[in-house]
Structure 1
Amino acid sequence: MALASVLRLFPSSPPHLSPLLCKSPPPFPFKSNRFSSSPFPILNQRSSFVTAALPDSADEQTVVSVDSVVSEDNFNDPRVIVSACLVGVFTGIAVVLFNNGVHEIRDFFWDGIPYRGASWLREEPLDSVWVRVIFVPACGGLIVSVLNAARNAVSEASYSAKAALGSVLKALAACVTLGTGNSLGPEGPSVEIGSSIAKEIHSLLDKNPQTKLSLLAAGAAAGISSGFNAAVAGCFFAVESVLWPSSPADSSVSLTNTTSMVILSAVIASVISEVGLGSEPAFKVPEYDFRSPGELPLYLLLGLLCGLVSLAFSKLTSYLLGVVDNLNKDVGIPKPVFPIVGGLTVGVIALAYPEILYWGFDNVDLLLESRPFVKGLSGDLLFQLVTVKIIATSLCRAFGLVGGYYAPSLFIGAATGMAYGKFISFAIAQSDPAIHLSILEVASPQAYGLVGMAAMLAGVCQVPLTAVLLLFELTQDYRIVLPLLGAVGLSSWITSGQMKRKDVKGTKALEDGNRYTIQQPEESDNTTSLSSTEAPPYFNNLCEVESSLCIDDSSIRTKDLEKRIFVKEAMRTRYVTVMTSTLLTEAVTLMLTEKQSCAIIVDNDNLLLGLLTLTDIHEFSKFAKDKSLDSKVLLVSEICSSDGAKCKVPWTATPTMDILSAEMIMNEYDLSHVPVISERVKDCRGQPIGLLDRECISLTCRALATRESLDFDTVKAIVE
């Protein structure tokens, strides 16, 4: 290809942000094989691997390899351990100050009512308490609205200013939200405080990008450890919320050294929390008992129930977030109004159900009947509280109040478990003597309440190990482990298929009003535009429900970076091409030689026909074996014509697209590989010039982020 034609592939004009969507991909010219469904002749055989040429201007944007810039043994630097210890120290201190701030605001607004308890408030005459109950949460919403406006103003400043001031303002908003009784919890903000401190310490002391994720994990562990006074659960939380979701994209993390950093940070933060807040656990563990191993099926049923309740909780939150967003964009209601309305709504609900107000874990103690001289709640009232708490918490989250979902999840789980336990006890006591259920000994409702707390936390936040270890660490009773594992496993399994850790950077990056659209081909009759920010309807965004679960470097800097990187910089320029008449064995050999998991199918004019993957070949080999076909003579055309869904390309990228757009559409259509074409000829049929996959997107972002984080003189010295 001549240089001039190559340069035309990458014009210097502004990037076109409307990718091609092919609803009806062109038919494959497959025929003259064992499948007679296609009337087209086989094309001449040709197969090769292609190294796409790049323009001279691309050389200026050559990615600096991470491995060539940063040594992999940087974890041995003493500054790494010192940084982890400092994260634990400052997170512990910050969480202590945060909780004390919540208590001071609560005492100021509520005048000692929380210490008397929700039961006292329920029995008080409505005329004497309604003003305070309604207007205290509303006043908190007003203050939070002002703080949110200040956070938005800070977001227009530099990145460093936003990272520092934005975290402080968000912590203050959480203090006000919780101190005024709105239905959220403090553990989520505690985790975000820890992660913010970890980011600041990393930027000041240890600028090695390979240790940033480890410090974030240490900050998350410190936040949970100091929040619940449970160091072991904090360590497992860091693994489940930070390390496991990020491990495929960041293989440079040293597991052994990261574990040491997480443990040190969690222990230090927990010790400081004990000094500042006392050694008592977050909530009082009631007296409970386990009667018989035959109860295990009952705990499994409780796990199923908690899983369904968790799913309803998450779906309602996602739905209300969408409703509020539409009210803001379509109706024009200003965002500062929503926190006030949210606080007012919580106050009105609290008139009938004061237990939904956040007063620490006192209301959880009330549900578990662990407070002396306080009458327990009836089973029907507990079921009502489950529904009302879900509604109140979802409204608080959707209306912009600041807080976490851990404490509300524990509250809902305790209410669900207690109601379930009381129902089981009543059913067995009232059973027909002929059925002989009365001989079955069941545990006290408190045991079901504790197990329900763990099952609900695992279902809502997708942290099953953390939930099990948290309850085990607080109860210190080995007998509870088997019921916990069974209930938590089922609850987490029910919600795992419906909730995904979809990074909020893909949706929040477009909040400035710049909407990308996916345009249909001009030949398509039903030309419509689809917002790339729409989430598939079958799952909820876990990061929207609880933002502290997605702290693994999903920052504004990363969003801006992806906006500035084009597909031509991230795509693979060395790829495999085959034709429909190519032998499958030859196609696999080429993939193996080039270490590729797919091959681009082209015709004689080098126009795109489809995409062949190793998975398609493997599945077809089983079919060929069942049909006793000779695998040595099978052609690419046969695998593509055997199943209409195979080899089809639903979407193609162009070299001048930014990778943020490309990645969002790949997520939308669950694509792992996307051919990059120079220009659209017909439908999606253009000349392929590259191949874009998730690995090269991740590698490009990491490498460019590493290059930007290093000083220019350092990079120059290393390269020279």
Structure 2
Amino acid sequence: MQALHAERENSRPLAPRYVAGEGEFPSSSNEQHGDEEAPEIQLLLAACGVGLAAGASIVGFNLCIHAVQSLISHEFLGNAEPWILLVLPPALGGVAVGLLGIAVGGYDDPPTPGSKEALPGPQGEPEEQAASVRADVFQAMGRTLARSAGAILTLGSGASLGPEGPSVDIGQAWAKGARLLVPGAGAGGLHALLAAGAGAGVAAGFNAPLSGVLFALESVLQPGQGEQKARPAPSLTLAMVLLAAALAAAVSQAGLGSSPAFRVPAYRLESYAELPLFLALGTLCGLVATSFTYSVGVAEDAFKDLTPGGQGEGDPSGDADGGRQSIGACAWRALMPAVGGLTTGVLSLGHPEILYHGFDNVNAILSVSSRLSAWDLSELVVLKIIATSMSRGSGLQGGLYAPSIFIGAALGSAYGLALQGTLGTLGVPLSAPEAYALVGVAAVLASACGVPLTAALLVFELTRDYLILLPTLGAVGLSFWAGPPALATLDLEALTAAGGSEEHGPPGAVPDVATAAALSSQALTVACAADGGCLLLAAGTPVPEAVAAMRRGGHAVSVVVGPGGEVVGVVSLVTLERLLLAEAATAGGEEAQ
């Protein structure tokens, strides 16, 4: 049998959804796949290994961030003027991130139209195919290591990003590595391992295992994420995610302590008549999240436009116009993160709270003893949006979860203080501003990062108070509805894709396809949307061999090619199985006669 394999690693496929038969994909249970599929116990053990490795790596990741912060504040700049301590570290951190990016050839994985990471290539001996797979996996893990090092420098110097995105990136890197231990897992098994890695990253990053599980189900395993691939049985996938999240959280608690990611005040809903006020806060959070994601997209586009040659991330040394422009582009990419860091440092002169110092700044907003005025909190929201946009757009490494949490806490607290200054003076019973801050955290996080259920459960898991769910769910629902639909998954590219890039434009629907085509650049090619996760079958392949190959690789649809490599058509696994059943029924009827 001649079968050509090609797999493109992309957790958010842009290719059309191919439905086989009634839309049901073949189960990956051992009863159906027989000995061709990796035993379930191997996938479960691999998920456990992913959880343990991810938890330990995230502990080391956070300890490295704290070490960099301590070195800057106590060793290098311990006796410096306050304004130098605010401005200089983010700028120097940006320089270090830029130089590191040049040294490693960029932080993003090369945008190839196909990858052999999930399945071996079509040519060569089995040993050569296995070596190629190992090389691809090690390259992906090396890129993750480089991004993690960049994030350590970014966050340790105080730039306005967060560690949760890199944490999930680390978890998924270990999932890709575990793929080598389960060679028979196929594309569906790899997808389940990636979900387990993502859940482990959130569980260890927030010390919230339940939120990690729901994040994996809501983002990585949601409808549309790899639907064209046959997945393991739902019970097996869920067990893998649960085990990975639990073990990662256990390791994180052992290494970093069992305290929640941030301290929460005592919550009390004064009256159910106050619920409309929380719903109005949810709508406001959705609008602010829209501004936030729009600002990030504008900053990313602006820095790309300023880059010589108009190139984005990728190979920082490559340029089509010769060495002089290549050197200029290379130098500019090395300096871009410093521009973002310097801007953040200058903005922090008025409000140092916008710098990253773990969740201490969020704890300060949630603390009654250090309550700021509503005006000061509103300024923090605006400055945090600008600082985060500049940090992200300039190429500094980090995620958007922590900034979203900070923006939500500041916005909710300002909203609560404004209500106390108006309705509170009229004798209306109101909850404390800290309660509105908690609801604001969930609402902005849900809208800006596209994870409404995870955001609501995260606040509940951190507060352990059932009453908080009432206003939180309502506010999250309205925030997600009023937020940016096109950018709802702004942070998921770093969390669920192979690379660390997150390409997004400003929110708002494009008027029509013709307008979108006119605005599109030549860099957007069909290869960007092509999903290599399909099996190429020769037209002369016997149906039993084709069925066995599709089951073995976890493919629901395959492309049939002719002798010269031309495309003959598309065939589904369900169709082939029906052909086999029909042939068997016909043969049985003839024998009966």
Per-residue CA deviations over 1:429-472 (Å, capped at 9, x if unaligned) read 34xxxxxxx34211000100000000011001110111111110
1:61 aligns with none
How far does residue 205 in structure 1 lie from its aligned partner after superposition?
Answer: 3.5
1:319 aligns with 298
How far does residue 508 in structure 1 lie from its aligned partner after superposition?
Answer: 10
Pick closer, same or farther for the CA change 1:530–1:108 going to 2, 3 Å. closer
1:284 aligns with 263
Are 1:309 and 2:288 an aligned pair? Answer: yes
SS across alignment from 2:301: helix
2:114 aligns with none
2:18 aligns with none
Are 1:176 and 2:153 an aligned pair? Answer: yes
Residue of structure 1 aligned with 2:208, choices 216, 230, 252: 230
Q: Tell me, in whole angstroms, the C-alpha distance in 2 between the residues paired with 1:329 and 1:70.
A: 57
1:83 aligns with 46
1:380 aligns with 375
Tell me if structure 2 keeps the 8 A contact 1:455–1:484: yes
1:135 aligns with 88
Q: Which amino acid aligns with 2:485?
A: G
Per-residue CA deviations over 1:102-144 (Å, capped at 9, x if unaligned) read 0000000122999x9xxxxxxx9xx921122111111111111
> Aligned-pair RMSD on alpha carbons?
3.9
Q: Tell me, in whole angstroms, the C-alpha distance in 1 between the residues paired with 2:137 and 2:421.
A: 59
Pick closer, same or farther for the CA change 1:185–1:506 going to 2, 3 Å. closer
1:104 aligns with 67
How far does residue 493 in structure 1 lie from its aligned partner after superposition?
Answer: 1.4
2:11 aligns with none
Residue of structure 2 aligned with 1:148, choices 101, 120, 123: 101
Q: Tell me, in whole angstroms, the C-alpha distance in 1 between the residues paired with 2:268 and 2:282.
A: 18
How far does residue 197 in structure 1 lie from its aligned partner after superposition?
Answer: 0.4
Tell me if structure 2 keeps the 8 A contact 1:150–1:169: no
Tell me if structure 2 keeps the 8 A contact 1:459–1:492: yes
SS across alignment from 2:287: helix
Residue of structure 2 aligned with 1:459, choices 447, 466, 472: 447
Most deviating of 97-106 and 497-506: 497-506
Q: Where in structure 1 are there 5+ consecutive unaligned residues?
A: 1-64, 117-123, 431-437, 512-523, 536-557, 571-654, 657-677, 679-688, 700-720
Tell me if structure 1 keeps the 8 A contact 2:30–2:39: no
1:412 aligns with 407
Tell me if structure 2 keeps the 8 A contact 1:151–1:170: no
SS across alignment from 2:349: helix
How far does residue 499 in structure 1 lie from its aligned partner after superposition?
Answer: 2.4
Tell me if structure 1 keeps the 8 A contact 2:52–2:247: yes
How far does residue 185 in structure 1 lie from its aligned partner after superposition?
Answer: 0.5
1:299 aligns with 278
1:261 aligns with 240
Matches within 5 A, 1:494-643: 494-495=482-483, 497-499=485-487, 530-531=520-521
Residue of structure 2 aligned with 1:480, choices 446, 468, 474: 468
Q: Tell me, in whole angstroms, the C-alpha distance in 2 between the residues paired with 1:202 and 1:69.
A: 18
How far does residue 337 in structure 1 lie from its aligned partner after superposition?
Answer: 1.3
Pick closer, same or farther for the CA change 1:76–1:691 going to 2, 3 Å. closer
Q: Which amino acid aligns with 1:130?
A: W
Q: Which amino acid aligns with 1:208?
A: A
SS across alignment from 2:372: coil
Tell me if structure 1 keeps the 8 A contact 2:267–2:468: no
Q: Tell me, in whole angstroms, the C-alpha distance in 2 between the residues paired with 1:386 and 1:176.
A: 24
Residue of structure 2 aligned with 1:162, choices 125, 134, 139: 139
Q: Which amino acid aligns with 1:452?
A: G
How far does residue 307 in structure 1 lie from its aligned partner after superposition?
Answer: 0.3
Pick closer, same or farther for the CA change 1:72–1:559 going to 2, 3 Å. farther
Per-residue CA deviations over 1:178-214 (Å, capped at 9, x if unaligned) read 1110000111100000000011011234441131111
SS across alignment from 2:370: coil
Pick closer, same or farther for the CA change 1:449–1:530 going to 2, 3 Å. closer
Q: Tell me, in whole angstroms, the C-alpha distance in 1 between the residues paired with 2:140 and 2:468.
A: 42
Pick closer, same or farther for the CA change 1:254–1:309 going to 2, 3 Å. same
Q: Tell me, in whole angstroms, the C-alpha distance in 2 between the residues paired with 1:141 and 1:215.
A: 33
Q: Tell me, in whole angstroms, the C-alpha distance in 2 between the residues paired with 1:76 and 1:82.
A: 10
Tell me if structure 1 keeps the 8 A contact 2:141–2:174: no
TM-score, structure 1 normalization: 0.58
How far does residue 252 in structure 1 lie from its aligned partner after superposition?
Answer: 2.8
Tell me if structure 2 keeps the 8 A contact 1:247–1:253: no
How far does residue 393 in structure 1 lie from its aligned partner after superposition?
Answer: 0.4
Residue of structure 2 aligned with 1:362, choices 347, 360, 366: 360
Q: Tell me, in whole angstroms, the C-alpha distance in 2 between the residues paired with 1:528 and 1:240.
A: 34
How far does residue 559 in structure 1 lie from its aligned partner after superposition?
Answer: 6.5
Q: Which amino acid aligns with 1:200?
A: G
Number of equivalent positions = 460
Matches within 5 A, 1:335-350: 335-350=333-348
2:558 aligns with none
Q: Percent identity over the alignment?
A: 38
Q: Tell me, in whole angstroms, the C-alpha distance in 2 between the residues paired with 1:309 and 1:691.
A: 48
Q: Tell me, in whole angstroms, the C-alpha distance in 1 between the residues paired with 2:528 and 2:32.
A: 26
Tell me if structure 2 keeps the 8 A contact 1:75–1:254: no
TM-score, structure 2 normalization: 0.70
2:388 aligns with 393
Matches within 5 A, 1:237-252: 237-244=215-222, 245-246=224-225, 248-252=227-231
How far does residue 358 in structure 1 lie from its aligned partner after superposition?
Answer: 0.4
How far does residue 495 in structure 1 lie from its aligned partner after superposition?
Answer: 2.3
Q: Tell me, in whole angstroms, the C-alpha distance in 1 between the residues paired with 2:350 and 2:59.
A: 33
Q: Which amino acid aligns with 2:205?
A: G
Q: Tell me, in whole angstroms, the C-alpha distance in 1 between the residues paired with 2:354 and 2:417.
A: 20
Q: Tell me, in whole angstroms, the C-alpha distance in 2 between the residues paired with 1:206 and 1:690.
A: 30
Q: Tell me, in whole angstroms, the C-alpha distance in 1 between the residues paired with 2:168 and 2:221.
A: 14
Q: Tell me, in whole angstroms, the C-alpha distance in 2 between the residues paired with 1:491 and 1:424.
A: 19
Tell me if structure 2 keeps the 8 A contact 1:87–1:197: yes
Asked which structure has the greater CA Rg, the reply is: 1
Q: Tell me, in whole angstroms, the C-alpha distance in 1 between the residues paired with 2:336 and 2:292.
A: 20
Tell me if structure 1 keeps the 8 A contact 2:58–2:201: yes
Q: Which amino acid aligns with 1:269?
A: A
Q: Tell me, in whole angstroms, the C-alpha distance in 2 between the residues paired with 1:162 and 1:237.
A: 26
1:445 aligns with 433
Q: Which amino acid aligns with 2:90?
A: P
Pick closer, same or farther for the CA change 1:286–1:177 going to 2, 3 Å. same
Q: Where in structure 2 are there 5+ consecutive unaligned residues?
A: 1-25, 111-131, 311-327, 504-513, 540-560, 575-593
